Structure 1
Amino acid sequence: MIEGVVIKKLVKHCDDRGFFAELVRDDEPELLSKFGQASWSMSYPGVIKAFHYHDKQDDLWFFPSGNAQVVLYDLRKGSPTYKKTEVYYMGEENPIMLLIPKGVAHGYRVLGERPATIIYFTTESYNLQSPDEHRLDWDDPEIGFDWETKYR
């Protein structure tokens, strides 16, 4: 596992009315060391939103609807997992929270035939005058990730 990445499996409490699940709590500092901002986004089937990384903020991702292939790549030179790539499958089929530490490039591809919705929390608020966001191409040769579905 990439150094500093944290996964929280969500527990759904179901009954005849529906379900309830906690996403993040203030007594889970391993998930969100401080609150900066909460955001909500939707992407259409097949869309790839990749890659970007941050110098100052951690991201905590959750896909409440749809499904996504999430790819992480460790850019932190001092990290024991430097240049390691990991893939997570998140969404309705695997409801987890994924903490992405600063310095780890991240992106996702929407899987299936329905849009995917992501809700994410950050440790810093977005600063329009000085965005903490660095972009890499979705097909960056250093990362070398193959986004094609493997038919097995």
Structure 2
Amino acid sequence: MEFIRTNIPDVVLCKPKIYTDDRGYFFESFKKEALENFIGAKISFCQDNEAKSSKGVLRGLHYQLSPMSQSKLVRVIKGKVLDIAVDIRKNSPTYGKHVALELSEHNKFQLFVPKGFAHGYVVLDEDTIFSYKVDNYYAAALDRGIKFDDEVLGIDWKLPTEDLIISEKDKNQPTFNKAEIFD
């Protein structure tokens, strides 16, 4: 596995070594020790989540407040997404900046999104299956979000707004400047 720091160094692109032959392919999708060594911190994923969505579905931007904040390791099993991680750590030099990367069944890339980031994605292919590991359980009382089309963040979701399928919850999230953010 190759690890590459993105324009926000704490967000890490994970590129697996894929072995292919006439039978198909094989790759290691997660190797705890290697990721921990690269990021310089211990991780303890406790839950795997999976979502199936059609083209145009936008999920996010979501996060949880401390003490239930979550690091995530996200990937696409089938299809393609544009994955977004927004730095919401007030004391960070990249506060309010974001990483946008395409994850797909073909490139098999994964993205490590640490605590202190809002996360979201938009589905670019039909019948996409998105999978992710988290290092803390869901806590409804600490669940927060930021409006996907916030002008301060200026995220290009790569699809026209009228083509997006968004939950009422995500449509009604606060703007970045009004969101309850990490200190």
**Which residues of 2 match residues 78-97 of structure 1 at below 5 A?**
78-97=91-110
Q: Residue 22 of structure 1: CA displacement?
A: 0.9
| Correspondence for 2:56 | 46
Q: Sequence identity of aligned pairs in percent? A: 32
Secondary structure of 2:32 counterpart: coil
Secondary structure of 2:93 counterpart: coil
**CA RMSD, aligned part only?**
2.0
Is the contact between residue 48 and residue 107 of structure 1 (CA under 8 Å) also seen in structure 2?
A: yes
Consecutive unaligned residues of structure 1, counting only runs of 5 or more, are none
Q: Residue 142 of structure 1: CA displacement?
A: 3.0
Which contiguous aligned blocks of 4+ residues in structure 1 show a shift greater than 6 angstroms? none
Pick closer, same or farther for the CA change 1:146–1:109 going to 2, 3 Å: same
Q: Residue 108 of structure 1: CA displacement?
A: 0.8
Q: Residue 94 of structure 1: CA displacement?
A: 2.3
Q: Which protein has greater RCO, CA pairs closer than 8 Å, 6+ apart? A: 1
Is the contact between residue 71 and residue 134 of structure 2 (CA under 8 Å) also seen in structure 1?
A: yes
TM-score (norm 1): 0.85
Q: Does 1:57 align with 2:63?
A: no
Pick closer, same or farther for the CA change 1:60–1:15 going to 2, 3 Å: same
For 2:79 and 2:139, locate their aligned partners in 1 and report how far apart those are by CA, in whole Å: 29
| Correspondence for 2:118 | 105
Q: Residue 38 of structure 1: CA displacement?
A: 0.8
Q: Does 1:115 align with 2:115?
A: no
Normalized per residue, which structure has more helix?
Answer: 2
Higher mean C-alpha deviation, range 17-26 or range 28-37: 28-37
CA displacement 1:85-136 (0-9 Å, x = unmatched): 2210111232111011112111111113x221111001112245x4x42122
Pick closer, same or farther for the CA change 1:47–1:32 going to 2, 3 Å: farther
Matched positions, count: 147
Secondary structure of 1:77 counterpart: coil
Is the contact between residue 80 and residue 105 of structure 2 (CA under 8 Å) also seen in structure 1?
A: yes
Pick closer, same or farther for the CA change 1:66–1:32 going to 2, 3 Å: farther
Secondary structure of 1:27 counterpart: helix
CA displacement 1:40-91 (0-9 Å, x = unmatched): 1111111111211233210110101100011221111111211112210111
Q: In structure 2, give the amino acid aligned to 1:16.
A: D
TM-score (norm 2): 0.72
| Correspondence for 2:27 | 21
